[in-house]
Amino acid sequence: MTRDQLLTAPETAVPTLRGAVAGLPSYIPGRRSAGRDVAALASNESHYDPLPAVVSAVAEAAGRMNRYPDMAAVELRERIASHLGVTAGELAVGPGSVGVLQQIVTGLCDAGDEVIFAWRSFEAYPILIEVAGARPVRIPLDDAEGHDLDAMAAAVTERTKVILLCTPNNPTGVPISHERVEAFVQSVRSDILVVIDEAYVEYAEAGSGPDSLALYRRYPNVCILRTFSKAYGLAGLRVGYAVAAPAIAEGLRRTALPFSVSGLAQKAAIASLDAGEQMEARVDAVKRERARMAAQLEAQGWKLPASQGNFLWIRADDDLRAKLVDAFDRADILVRAYQGDGVRITVADPASNDRVLRLLAAHAARKPPTYNPIRSTDN
Ligand SMILES: *Cc1c(COP(=O)(O)O)cnc(C)c1O
Protein backbone atom coordinates (compact mmCIF):
# COMPACT_ATOMS: atom_id res chain seq x y z
CA MET A 1 0.00 0.00 0.00
CA THR A 2 1.08 3.57 -0.59
CA ARG A 3 1.34 6.05 2.23
CA ASP A 4 -1.91 7.74 1.17
CA GLN A 5 -3.77 4.44 1.03
CA LEU A 6 -2.45 3.54 4.48
CA LEU A 7 -3.56 6.83 5.97
CA THR A 8 -7.09 6.64 4.52
CA ALA A 9 -7.77 2.93 5.09
CA PRO A 10 -10.23 2.78 7.98
CA GLU A 11 -8.86 -0.47 9.37
CA THR A 12 -5.28 0.82 9.66
CA ALA A 13 -4.20 1.46 13.22
CA VAL A 14 -2.23 4.67 13.58
CA PRO A 15 0.02 5.86 16.40
CA THR A 16 -1.97 7.86 18.93
CA LEU A 17 -0.94 10.47 21.47
CA ARG A 18 -1.46 9.83 25.18
CA GLY A 19 -4.75 11.28 26.39
CA ALA A 20 -2.93 13.86 28.52
CA VAL A 21 -1.12 15.12 25.42
CA ALA A 22 -4.08 14.96 23.01
CA GLY A 23 -6.09 17.13 25.42
CA LEU A 24 -3.52 19.92 25.64
CA PRO A 25 -4.30 23.30 24.11
CA SER A 26 -2.33 24.13 20.99
CA TYR A 27 0.08 27.01 21.19
CA ILE A 28 -1.29 30.05 19.42
CA PRO A 29 1.57 32.33 18.36
CA GLY A 30 1.14 36.06 18.87
CA ARG A 31 0.16 38.17 15.87
CA ARG A 32 3.11 39.60 13.97
CA SER A 33 2.64 42.43 11.54
CA ALA A 34 5.78 42.70 9.49
CA GLY A 35 7.31 46.00 8.53
CA ARG A 36 5.37 48.12 11.01
CA ASP A 37 6.23 49.55 14.38
CA VAL A 38 5.07 46.72 16.60
CA ALA A 39 5.38 47.04 20.38
CA ALA A 40 6.05 43.52 21.69
CA LEU A 41 4.43 43.67 25.13
CA ALA A 42 3.03 40.13 25.32
CA SER A 43 5.82 38.07 26.88
CA ASN A 44 7.34 40.09 29.74
CA GLU A 45 10.72 40.11 28.00
CA SER A 46 13.33 42.78 28.60
CA HIS A 47 13.02 45.45 25.90
CA TYR A 48 16.71 46.31 26.23
CA ASP A 49 19.30 45.03 23.77
CA PRO A 50 21.65 42.49 25.37
CA LEU A 51 24.57 43.99 27.31
CA PRO A 52 27.80 44.23 25.24
CA ALA A 53 29.73 42.09 27.76
CA VAL A 54 27.10 39.37 27.44
CA VAL A 55 27.14 39.50 23.65
CA SER A 56 30.92 39.11 23.57
CA ALA A 57 30.80 36.18 26.01
CA VAL A 58 28.28 34.49 23.71
CA ALA A 59 30.30 35.31 20.59
CA GLU A 60 33.37 33.73 22.15
CA ALA A 61 31.42 30.63 23.19
CA ALA A 62 30.01 30.38 19.66
CA GLY A 63 33.47 29.41 18.47
CA ARG A 64 33.11 26.16 20.43
CA MET A 65 29.66 25.08 19.28
CA ASN A 66 31.08 21.93 17.71
CA ARG A 67 31.57 20.66 21.28
CA TYR A 68 28.92 19.57 23.75
CA PRO A 69 28.52 22.02 26.64
CA ASP A 70 29.47 21.18 30.22
CA MET A 71 26.57 18.90 31.14
CA ALA A 72 26.94 19.62 34.86
CA ALA A 73 27.23 23.41 34.24
CA VAL A 74 29.90 23.49 36.97
CA GLU A 75 31.19 27.00 36.33
CA LEU A 76 27.69 28.49 36.09
CA ARG A 77 26.46 26.69 39.20
CA GLU A 78 29.50 27.92 41.13
CA ARG A 79 28.89 31.48 39.96
CA ILE A 80 25.20 31.33 40.99
CA ALA A 81 26.20 29.71 44.29
CA SER A 82 28.52 32.58 45.19
CA HIS A 83 25.88 35.10 44.05
CA LEU A 84 23.28 33.60 46.41
CA GLY A 85 25.45 32.30 49.24
CA VAL A 86 24.57 28.62 48.72
CA THR A 87 26.67 25.71 47.41
CA ALA A 88 26.73 24.41 43.85
CA GLY A 89 25.29 21.15 45.19
CA GLU A 90 22.06 22.97 46.05
CA LEU A 91 21.57 24.14 42.46
CA ALA A 92 20.08 22.59 39.35
CA VAL A 93 20.08 24.51 36.07
CA GLY A 94 17.82 23.89 33.10
CA PRO A 95 16.61 25.34 29.78
CA GLY A 96 14.69 28.21 31.36
CA SER A 97 13.04 27.85 34.72
CA VAL A 98 10.21 26.18 32.81
CA GLY A 99 12.71 23.45 31.97
CA VAL A 100 13.72 23.17 35.62
CA LEU A 101 10.07 23.04 36.65
CA GLN A 102 9.55 20.15 34.24
CA GLN A 103 12.47 18.41 35.97
CA ILE A 104 10.78 19.07 39.33
CA VAL A 105 7.40 17.68 38.29
CA THR A 106 8.78 14.61 36.53
CA GLY A 107 11.27 14.08 39.35
CA LEU A 108 8.71 14.16 42.16
CA CYS A 109 5.34 13.10 40.74
CA ASP A 110 4.10 9.63 39.86
CA ALA A 111 1.02 9.29 37.64
CA GLY A 112 -2.00 10.75 39.44
CA ASP A 113 -0.02 12.72 42.02
CA GLU A 114 -1.26 16.24 42.57
CA VAL A 115 0.34 19.63 42.06
CA ILE A 116 -1.48 22.61 43.59
CA PHE A 117 -1.14 26.12 42.18
CA ALA A 118 -3.07 29.38 42.04
CA TRP A 119 -5.19 30.23 39.01
CA ARG A 120 -4.83 32.33 37.10
CA SER A 121 -1.09 32.02 37.18
CA PHE A 122 1.64 31.02 34.73
CA GLU A 123 0.09 29.18 31.75
CA ALA A 124 2.93 26.65 31.60
CA TYR A 125 2.01 25.12 34.99
CA PRO A 126 -1.00 22.97 33.99
CA ILE A 127 0.67 21.91 30.73
CA LEU A 128 3.88 20.65 32.38
CA ILE A 129 1.89 18.88 35.08
CA GLU A 130 -0.46 17.14 32.65
CA VAL A 131 2.34 16.04 30.33
CA ALA A 132 4.06 14.47 33.34
CA GLY A 133 0.90 12.45 34.06
CA ALA A 134 0.27 14.32 37.32
CA ARG A 135 -2.96 16.13 38.20
CA PRO A 136 -3.14 19.94 38.16
CA VAL A 137 -5.15 21.40 41.08
CA ARG A 138 -6.06 25.03 40.38
CA ILE A 139 -7.06 27.24 43.29
CA PRO A 140 -8.77 30.52 42.29
CA LEU A 141 -7.00 33.74 43.22
CA ASP A 142 -8.47 35.74 46.11
CA ASP A 143 -10.41 38.95 45.49
CA ALA A 144 -7.21 41.01 45.67
CA GLU A 145 -5.76 39.00 42.72
CA GLY A 146 -3.31 37.20 45.03
CA HIS A 147 -2.83 33.60 46.17
CA ASP A 148 -5.60 32.22 48.41
CA LEU A 149 -3.20 30.33 50.67
CA ASP A 150 -5.92 29.06 53.02
CA ALA A 151 -7.74 27.44 50.11
CA MET A 152 -4.45 26.08 48.77
CA ALA A 153 -3.63 24.50 52.15
CA ALA A 154 -7.16 23.07 52.34
CA ALA A 155 -6.69 21.46 48.91
CA VAL A 156 -3.79 19.29 50.09
CA THR A 157 -4.50 15.56 49.90
CA GLU A 158 -2.42 12.40 50.38
CA ARG A 159 -1.54 12.65 46.69
CA THR A 160 -0.13 16.20 46.89
CA LYS A 161 3.57 16.19 46.00
CA VAL A 162 4.30 19.74 44.92
CA ILE A 163 2.78 23.19 45.55
CA LEU A 164 3.71 26.11 43.29
CA LEU A 165 3.70 29.65 44.67
CA CYS A 166 4.27 32.32 42.03
CA THR A 167 5.45 35.61 43.56
CA PRO A 168 5.02 38.16 42.16
CA ASN A 169 2.23 36.28 40.41
CA ASN A 170 2.16 36.16 36.63
CA PRO A 171 -0.16 37.62 35.26
CA THR A 172 -1.55 39.72 38.15
CA GLY A 173 1.75 41.04 39.58
CA VAL A 174 0.62 40.46 43.17
CA PRO A 175 3.34 39.19 45.55
CA ILE A 176 2.91 36.95 48.61
CA SER A 177 4.35 38.41 51.81
CA HIS A 178 7.16 36.71 53.70
CA GLU A 179 4.96 36.08 56.73
CA ARG A 180 2.20 34.49 54.67
CA VAL A 181 4.59 32.20 52.79
CA GLU A 182 6.25 31.13 56.03
CA ALA A 183 2.93 30.42 57.79
CA PHE A 184 1.86 28.45 54.71
CA VAL A 185 5.04 26.36 54.63
CA GLN A 186 4.58 25.61 58.34
CA SER A 187 0.97 24.56 57.74
CA VAL A 188 1.61 21.95 55.03
CA ARG A 189 3.24 18.53 55.35
CA SER A 190 7.02 18.65 55.31
CA ASP A 191 7.18 16.00 52.56
CA ILE A 192 5.46 18.36 50.07
CA LEU A 193 7.89 20.40 47.97
CA VAL A 194 6.86 24.08 48.09
CA VAL A 195 8.27 25.72 44.96
CA ILE A 196 8.56 29.52 45.09
CA ASP A 197 8.63 30.66 41.46
CA GLU A 198 10.43 34.01 41.47
CA ALA A 199 10.70 34.69 37.75
CA TYR A 200 10.15 38.43 38.39
CA VAL A 201 11.84 38.81 41.78
CA GLU A 202 14.31 41.40 40.48
CA TYR A 203 11.41 43.74 39.69
CA ALA A 204 9.80 43.45 43.14
CA GLU A 205 10.24 46.19 45.77
CA ALA A 206 12.39 44.95 48.64
CA GLY A 207 10.22 43.43 51.33
CA SER A 208 7.09 43.05 49.16
CA GLY A 209 7.62 39.32 48.70
CA PRO A 210 9.24 36.55 50.70
CA ASP A 211 12.91 36.31 51.67
CA SER A 212 12.92 32.99 49.86
CA LEU A 213 16.54 32.12 50.67
CA ALA A 214 15.87 32.54 54.40
CA LEU A 215 12.82 30.29 54.07
CA TYR A 216 14.83 27.76 52.07
CA ARG A 217 17.49 27.64 54.78
CA ARG A 218 14.88 27.14 57.50
CA TYR A 219 12.60 24.67 55.67
CA PRO A 220 14.30 21.98 53.56
CA ASN A 221 11.05 21.35 51.60
CA VAL A 222 11.21 24.86 50.13
CA CYS A 223 12.60 25.15 46.59
CA ILE A 224 13.30 28.43 44.76
CA LEU A 225 12.93 28.81 41.00
CA ARG A 226 14.66 31.68 39.18
CA THR A 227 15.36 32.58 35.58
CA PHE A 228 17.69 34.62 33.40
CA SER A 229 14.85 35.18 30.90
CA LYS A 230 13.22 38.26 32.38
CA ALA A 231 15.25 40.96 34.18
CA TYR A 232 18.55 39.53 32.88
CA GLY A 233 17.23 39.66 29.31
CA LEU A 234 18.26 36.16 28.16
CA ALA A 235 14.82 34.82 27.15
CA GLY A 236 16.16 33.59 23.82
CA LEU A 237 19.02 31.58 25.31
CA ARG A 238 17.00 29.40 27.75
CA VAL A 239 18.57 29.21 31.19
CA GLY A 240 17.09 29.13 34.66
CA TYR A 241 17.74 27.35 37.93
CA ALA A 242 16.37 25.87 41.12
CA VAL A 243 17.76 26.17 44.63
CA ALA A 244 16.82 23.03 46.54
CA ALA A 245 18.01 20.71 49.31
CA PRO A 246 21.11 18.85 48.02
CA ALA A 247 19.29 15.50 47.56
CA ILE A 248 16.49 17.16 45.57
CA ALA A 249 18.88 19.30 43.50
CA GLU A 250 20.92 16.16 42.73
CA GLY A 251 17.74 14.39 41.58
CA LEU A 252 16.78 17.33 39.39
CA ARG A 253 20.19 17.28 37.74
CA ARG A 254 19.64 13.57 37.00
CA THR A 255 16.22 14.15 35.38
CA ALA A 256 17.56 16.87 33.08
CA LEU A 257 17.61 16.34 29.33
CA PRO A 258 21.36 15.93 28.68
CA PHE A 259 23.11 19.11 27.48
CA SER A 260 19.85 21.09 27.46
CA VAL A 261 21.58 24.28 28.62
CA SER A 262 23.89 25.32 25.79
CA GLY A 263 27.43 26.58 26.29
CA LEU A 264 26.27 29.94 24.94
CA ALA A 265 23.56 30.14 27.58
CA GLN A 266 25.94 29.13 30.37
CA LYS A 267 28.49 31.79 29.40
CA ALA A 268 25.78 34.42 28.94
CA ALA A 269 24.35 33.71 32.39
CA ILE A 270 27.78 34.03 34.01
CA ALA A 271 28.47 37.30 32.18
CA SER A 272 25.01 38.54 33.20
CA LEU A 273 25.67 37.91 36.89
CA ASP A 274 29.00 39.71 36.48
CA ALA A 275 27.07 42.69 35.03
CA GLY A 276 24.65 42.79 37.95
CA GLU A 277 24.83 46.55 38.43
CA GLN A 278 23.91 47.28 34.81
CA MET A 279 20.99 44.87 35.11
CA GLU A 280 19.84 46.67 38.26
CA ALA A 281 19.95 50.07 36.53
CA ARG A 282 17.73 48.67 33.75
CA VAL A 283 15.35 47.14 36.29
CA ASP A 284 15.12 50.47 38.13
CA ALA A 285 14.13 52.21 34.89
CA VAL A 286 11.36 49.65 34.31
CA LYS A 287 10.17 50.08 37.91
CA ARG A 288 9.96 53.86 37.41
CA GLU A 289 7.95 53.33 34.23
CA ARG A 290 5.71 50.86 36.06
CA ALA A 291 4.98 53.49 38.73
CA ARG A 292 4.37 56.18 36.11
CA MET A 293 1.94 53.95 34.18
CA ALA A 294 0.13 52.78 37.30
CA ALA A 295 -0.39 56.37 38.45
CA GLN A 296 -1.67 57.51 35.05
CA LEU A 297 -3.97 54.53 34.66
CA GLU A 298 -5.39 55.13 38.10
CA ALA A 299 -5.99 58.77 37.16
CA GLN A 300 -7.79 57.51 34.02
CA GLY A 301 -10.10 55.50 36.28
CA TRP A 302 -8.64 51.99 35.90
CA LYS A 303 -8.44 49.86 39.02
CA LEU A 304 -5.32 47.70 38.81
CA PRO A 305 -3.61 45.59 41.46
CA ALA A 306 -0.20 47.05 42.44
CA SER A 307 2.16 45.01 40.25
CA GLN A 308 5.60 43.94 41.47
CA GLY A 309 6.49 42.48 38.06
CA ASN A 310 7.47 44.14 34.76
CA PHE A 311 3.85 44.01 33.64
CA LEU A 312 0.41 45.40 34.44
CA TRP A 313 -2.82 43.46 34.81
CA ILE A 314 -6.24 44.59 33.69
CA ARG A 315 -9.05 42.37 34.93
CA ALA A 316 -11.62 42.24 32.14
CA ASP A 317 -14.78 40.32 31.32
CA ASP A 318 -14.84 38.81 27.83
CA ASP A 319 -16.65 41.79 26.37
CA LEU A 320 -14.07 44.32 27.60
CA ARG A 321 -11.21 41.94 26.84
CA ALA A 322 -12.35 41.56 23.21
CA LYS A 323 -12.62 45.34 22.82
CA LEU A 324 -9.15 45.90 24.29
CA VAL A 325 -7.53 43.12 22.25
CA ASP A 326 -9.05 44.54 19.09
CA ALA A 327 -7.82 48.05 19.95
CA PHE A 328 -4.32 46.84 20.85
CA ASP A 329 -4.20 44.77 17.65
CA ARG A 330 -5.11 47.70 15.49
CA ALA A 331 -2.52 49.86 17.29
CA ASP A 332 0.17 47.22 16.61
CA ILE A 333 0.69 46.60 20.31
CA LEU A 334 1.06 42.93 21.18
CA VAL A 335 -0.37 42.11 24.63
CA ARG A 336 -1.36 38.87 26.33
CA ALA A 337 -5.10 38.22 26.63
CA TYR A 338 -6.59 35.58 28.94
CA GLN A 339 -10.07 34.33 28.19
CA GLY A 340 -12.44 35.03 31.05
CA ASP A 341 -9.82 36.88 33.06
CA GLY A 342 -8.15 39.89 31.50
CA VAL A 343 -5.18 41.39 29.71
CA ARG A 344 -1.51 41.54 30.71
CA ILE A 345 0.73 44.27 29.33
CA THR A 346 4.52 44.25 29.65
CA VAL A 347 6.12 47.48 30.87
CA ALA A 348 8.83 48.49 28.37
CA ASP A 349 10.42 51.68 27.01
CA PRO A 350 8.67 55.03 27.65
CA ALA A 351 7.54 55.43 24.02
CA SER A 352 5.80 52.04 23.94
CA ASN A 353 4.35 52.67 27.38
CA ASP A 354 2.94 55.99 26.17
CA ARG A 355 1.20 54.19 23.30
CA VAL A 356 -0.42 51.89 25.87
CA LEU A 357 -1.47 54.82 28.06
CA ARG A 358 -3.03 56.66 25.11
CA LEU A 359 -4.94 53.58 24.02
CA LEU A 360 -6.23 52.82 27.50
CA ALA A 361 -7.28 56.43 28.06
CA ALA A 362 -9.69 56.00 25.16
CA HIS A 363 -11.24 52.94 26.83
CA ALA A 364 -11.21 54.16 30.42
CA ALA A 365 -14.92 54.94 30.44
CA ARG A 366 -15.47 51.18 30.55
CA LYS A 367 -14.44 50.32 34.12
CA PRO A 368 -13.23 46.76 34.57
CA PRO A 369 -15.61 44.65 36.66
CA THR A 370 -14.67 43.83 40.22
CA TYR A 371 -13.17 40.40 40.40
CA ASN A 372 -15.47 37.59 41.41
CA PRO A 373 -13.38 34.44 41.78
CA ILE A 374 -14.88 31.71 39.68
CA ARG A 375 -12.89 28.61 38.93
CA SER A 376 -11.64 29.06 35.39
CA THR A 377 -10.26 25.85 33.94
CA ASP A 378 -9.26 26.90 30.46
CA ASN A 379 -5.62 27.36 29.71
C1 LIG B 1 8.62 33.68 32.30
C2 LIG B 1 8.32 32.85 33.50
C3 LIG B 1 9.11 31.77 33.87
C4 LIG B 1 10.37 31.39 33.20
O5 LIG B 1 10.45 31.21 31.93
P6 LIG B 1 11.82 30.64 31.33
O7 LIG B 1 12.04 31.48 30.16
O8 LIG B 1 11.51 29.22 31.04
O9 LIG B 1 12.88 30.75 32.36
C10 LIG B 1 8.81 31.05 34.99
N11 LIG B 1 7.77 31.37 35.74
C12 LIG B 1 6.98 32.39 35.44
C13 LIG B 1 5.85 32.71 36.34
C14 LIG B 1 7.21 33.16 34.31
O15 LIG B 1 6.41 34.16 34.02
For residue 124, the CA-to-ligand 1 centroid distance in Å is 8
Q: Quick one: 220 exposed, middle or buried, by C-beta within 10 A (0-12, 13-18, 19+)?
A: middle
Please state, for a pLDDT cut of 90, what percent of the chain lies above it: 87
In the structure, what pLDDT confidence band is assigned to residue 50 with cuts at 50, 70 and 90? very high
Q: What is the pLDDT of residue 6?
A: 65
- Report whether 209 contacts 58 (CB < 8 A): no
Average pLDDT over the chain, rounded to an integer? 93
Cα–Cα nearest to 102, from 256, 293, 329: 256
Q: What is the pLDDT of residue 85?
A: 98
78-90: pLDDT as tens digits: 999 999 999 999 9
Peptide bond into 67 cis (omega under 30): no
Ordered by where they begin, the domains of the chain are 27-49+277-362 (3.90.1150.10), 52-274 (3.40.640.10)
Residue 370 has pLDDT above 80, yes or no: no
CA neighbours within 13 Å on the CB side: how many for 53? 12
Q: What is the pLDDT of residue 378?
A: 42
More confident residue, 365 or 128: 128
For residue 291, the CA-to-ligand 1 centroid distance in Å is 23
CA-CA distances (angstroms) from residue 229 to 93, 100, 261, 265?
Answer: 13, 13, 13, 11
Please give the number of the atom of ligand 1 that sits closest to the Cα of 121.
13
Q: What is the pLDDT of residue 31?
A: 60
CA-CA distances (angstroms) from residue 10 to 14, 16, 18, 113, 179?
Answer: 10, 15, 21, 37, 61
Average pLDDT over every residue of 285-299: 98
CA-CA distances (angstroms) from residue 119 to 61, 99, 351?
Answer: 40, 20, 32
Q: What is the pLDDT of residue 367?
A: 55
pTM here is 0.93
Please list every protein residue whose CB sits less than 6 Å from any atom of ligand 1: 44, 96-98, 122, 166, 170, 197, 199, 227, 229-230, 235, 240
For residue 167, the CA-to-ligand 1 centroid distance in Å is 11
Choose one of 101, 104, 120, 122 to mutate for the ligand 1 pocket test, by most ligand atoms within 8 angstroms of C-beta.
122
212-243: pLDDT as tens digits: 999 999 999 999 999 999 999 999 999 999 99
For residue 98, the CA-to-ligand 1 centroid distance in Å is 6
Q: What is the pLDDT of residue 12?
A: 82
